[in-house]
């Protein structure tokens, strides 16, 4: 029967907060040196990888956590986080400041750099700590992996595949000069307007299931996939992106024929002129 090591988990919460904070403070220093804050988006994935590695290392000193679950949850989180960081770094290479951060800091009261530290870096560090709760909790579950954890790993794989394939398809589409100014509506993007966000959704619910085989770990960490789901759908994810794209030619027709989030076959007759 699975158990949960509360004492170890409580210590891990502080260590994970330190890991996330360290990544964000180092990134803040680099951003000041480079003069652009867009690199904080790269630090998002790196922060999760740092928390996963710190949790894996710390829980290894405890007596009782399942080594297979610890290794699985850490490996899946690191792979997801570093892939995302590498993708964002490649996408932003050669570009200046992200317009989102430029607009935010132009309206900042007082010092823009300290405003950025509070509203961007420390906030993202706090979100990394919160969303990573299933990763931390899974490292302190005793007992062998069961069917729910294996289902979680399969859901994670689906999400990572959706995210990686969608990002690759979009990058290839944008690299073709003939597509300049056009909307991407092919491949996975014809089934959902946000395959990358849907992929993230599956990844974090999958990681949660790996922790959720023990009810205490499930209860203490369920807020994490709920918060991530809200961020992706009504927070800083698809809602803001679609507001930005609303006036682009062809977007209304694309929205009419393509599912907003969960993948569905495109509506063949919707949105035609």
pLDDT value for 208: 98
Q: Are 50 and 20 a contacting pair, CB within 8 Å?
A: yes
The model carries a pTM of 0.92
Over the Cα atoms of the chain, what is R_g? 20
- Is residue 164 exposed (0-12), middle (13-18) or buried (19+ Cβ within 10 Å)? middle
User: Rounded distance, CA 252 to CA 254, Å?
Assistant: 5
User: Rounded distance, CA 62 to CA 106, Å?
Assistant: 48
Domain boundaries, the chain: 6-257
Please state the rounded mean pLDDT for residues 1-11. 93
User: Rounded distance, CA 212 to CA 214, Å?
Assistant: 5
Q: Per-residue DSSP letters for 49-89?
A: HHHHHHHHHHHTTSSS--HHHHHHHHHHHHHHHHHHHHHHH
Tokens of 187: 């491949």
Measured in degrees and rounded to the nearest 5, phi and psi for residue 141 equal: -90, 130
Query: Cα torsion at 259, 265, 268, 269 (round to 10°)?
Result: -40
Q: What is the pLDDT of residues 85-139, one digit of tens each?
A: 999 999 888 788 878 888 888 888 888 899 999 999 999 999 999 999 999 999 9
269 has a pLDDT exceeding 70: no
pLDDT value for 137: 98
Q: Are 30 and 110 a contacting pair, CB within 8 Å?
A: no
237 has a pLDDT exceeding 80: no
DSSP-derived letter for residue 192 is -
């Amino acid at each position: 029967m699975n158990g949960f090591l509360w004492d170890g988990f409580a210590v891990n919460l502080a260590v994970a907060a330190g890991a996330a904070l360290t990544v964000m403070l180092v990134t803040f220093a680099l951003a000041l040196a480079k003069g652009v804050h867009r690199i904080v988006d790269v630090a998002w994935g790196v922060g999760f990888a740092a928390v996963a590695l710190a949790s894996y290392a710390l829980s290894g000193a405890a007596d009782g956590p399942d080594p297979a679950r610890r290794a699985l949850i850490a490996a899946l989180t690191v792979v997801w986080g570093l892939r995302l960081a590498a993708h964002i770094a490649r996408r932003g290479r050669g570009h200046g400041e992200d317009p989102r951060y430029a607009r935010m800091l132009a309206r900042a009261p007082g010092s823009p750099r300290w405003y950025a530290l509070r509203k961007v870096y420390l906030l993202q560090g706090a979100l990394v700590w919160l969303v990573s709760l299933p990763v931390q909790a899974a490292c302190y579950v005793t007992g062998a992996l069961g069917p729910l954890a294996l289902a979680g790993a399969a859901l994670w794989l689906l999400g990572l595949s959706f995210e990686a394939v969608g990002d690759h398809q979009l990058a290839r589409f944008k690299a073709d000069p003939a597509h300049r100014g056009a909307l991407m509506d092919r491949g996975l993007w014809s089934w959902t307007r946000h395959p990358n966000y849907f992929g993230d959704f599956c990844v974090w619910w999958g990681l949660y299931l790996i922790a959720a085989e023990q009810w205490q770990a499930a209860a203490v960490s369920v807020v994490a996939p709920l918060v991530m789901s809200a961020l992706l759908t009504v927070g800083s994810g698809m809602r803001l992106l679609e507001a930005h794209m609303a006036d682009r030619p062809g977007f209304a027709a694309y929205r009419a024929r393509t599912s907003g989030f969960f993948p569905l076959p495109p509506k063949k007759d919707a949105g035609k002129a």
